[in-house]
A and B are shown apart, each in its own frame.
Chain A
Amino acid sequence: MTRLLPHPILSLMLLGLWLLLVNSVSVGQLLLGLVLAWAIPLYTARFWVSRVRVRRPLVLLRLLGVVLYDMLVANLSVARLVSGPIARIHPGFVRVPLRVQGNVAVSLLANIVSLTPGTVSVFLSADQRELIVHALQADDPEAIIGVIRHRYEKPLLDALEQV
């Protein structure tokens, strides 16, 4: 099972991706998509060094909702920030200690941090224990760390499991 279908989630995503790409759901495209979804993970297996198991998919879905909502709200606040007086902006680097482990989880978290406005992840220490984040408004580093840890990192910790 694991030999023939090493990454079921990736396969599912690839199938969805294919159907969206061709923008139609016909039997032919479905079959072609299934073949691709089976073959591509098989032939790229060596590339996927670290694997994760999704323990609680619902938590991940909720995280997706939270991230989308935060993107919306925080976009507005950043828009207000950059259209106001520039002198009021105090950017700075914030060092965020990480609890998540593994390439997939860490890169997911780094991407989320970059997508939610106000913060961009700029550096990851070699031991993956610390993420350096550049914040547009770094007056209160503790608050930024708190948001990242509780809103984004906690669900990832709960939902993903290193295999």
Chain B
Amino acid sequence: MTEPLSSTLTSPLWSLGVEILVSLLIVIGAAFTCLGSVALLRLRDFYSRLHGPTKATTLGVGSLLIASSIFFSAQGPGLSLHEILVALFLFITAPVGAHLMAKAALHLRVRGQSGLPPDALLDGQGVAQPDPQAAPRPVPRPASRIDADPLRDAD
């Protein structure tokens, strides 16, 4: 009466459905990854640009991975689940990378569109202060175009 599962899985209608689903997911994933790059290109300051890449990984890469998982599960004998690992590692590393880059930028006082958080917070507690007793060290000035820094000139 009812067809065995294996013949359902190889029926042309089933594989057509899988292919449509996979293609849709790939297009969605590519679109969001592309938008991440567009954000990188269009946004105006360093901190805003950080948003692009961290976001592209979540939805863009996420749906590409789901597509991969579905495709290889439908093809192969068993479930293909190690895409979960790719997502897991990306979700762990992307925010940490963004955080470190932002922290480095704050340390160099790269100014964003909306200024900087109060110096007292960054200096007094967060970033290690140079010892005032020690011989004066030349302040490392970032030779970056973004850093037209009135704060540094004031002190």
Residues B75-120 near A (CB distance < 8 A): 78, 80-82, 84-85, 88, 91-92, 94-96, 98-99, 102-103, 105-106, 112-117
Report B117 CB to chain A, min CB distance, Å. Answer: 5
Residues B49-65 near A (CB distance < 8 A): 50-52, 54-55, 58-59, 62
User: In the complex, A136→B98 CA distance in Å?
Assistant: 14
Give how many B residues have a beta carbon under 8 Å from the other chain's beta carbons. Answer: 46
Is B38 among interface residues, defined by CB-CB distance under 8 A?
yes
If the complex has contacts A79-B32, A123-B103, are A91 and B114 also in contact, measured as CB distance less than 8 A? Answer: yes
Choice from B78, B85, B94, B117 contacting A114 with Cβ under 8 Å: B94
> When the two chains form their complex, are residues A123 and B102 in contact, meaning their CB atoms are under 8 A apart?
yes
User: In the complex, A79→B98 CA distance in Å?
Assistant: 19
User: In the complex, A90→B112 CA distance in Å?
Assistant: 11
Choice from B58, B82, B106 contacting A75 with Cβ under 8 Å: B58
Q: Which residues of B contact A117 (CB under 8 A)?
A: 51, 54-55, 58
* Interface pick from B12-20, B40-48, B144-152: B40-48
Is B142 among interface residues, defined by CB-CB distance under 8 A?
no
> When the two chains form their complex, are residues A111 and B96 in contact, meaning their CB atoms are under 8 A apart?
yes
Choice from A75, A136, A138 contacting B32 with Cβ under 8 Å: A75
Choice from A90, A114, A132 contacting B121 with Cβ under 8 Å: A132
Choice from A90, A120, A125 contacting B47 with Cβ under 8 Å: A120
Q: Which residues of A contact B62 (CB under 8 A)?
A: 71
> When the two chains form their complex, are residues B121 and A130 in contact, meaning their CB atoms are under 8 A apart?
yes
Between A and B, how many residue pairs show CB distances below 8 Å?
A: 126
User: In the complex, A136→B78 CA distance in Å?
Assistant: 42
> When the two chains form their complex, are residues B43 and A120 in contact, meaning their CB atoms are under 8 A apart?
no
Is B35 among interface residues, defined by CB-CB distance under 8 A?
yes
Report B24 CB to chain A, min CB distance, Å. Answer: 15
> When the two chains form their complex, are residues B99 and A110 in contact, meaning their CB atoms are under 8 A apart?
yes
> When the two chains form their complex, are residues B45 and A91 in contact, meaning their CB atoms are under 8 A apart?
yes
Is A98 among interface residues, defined by CB-CB distance under 8 A?
no
Is A24 among interface residues, defined by CB-CB distance under 8 A?
yes
> When the two chains form their complex, are residues B55 and A78 in contact, meaning their CB atoms are under 8 A apart?
yes
Chain A residues proximal to chain B, CB less than 8 Å: 17, 20-21, 23-24, 71-72, 75, 78-79, 82-83, 86, 89-93, 95, 110-111, 113-115, 117-118, 120-127, 130, 132, 134, 136, 138
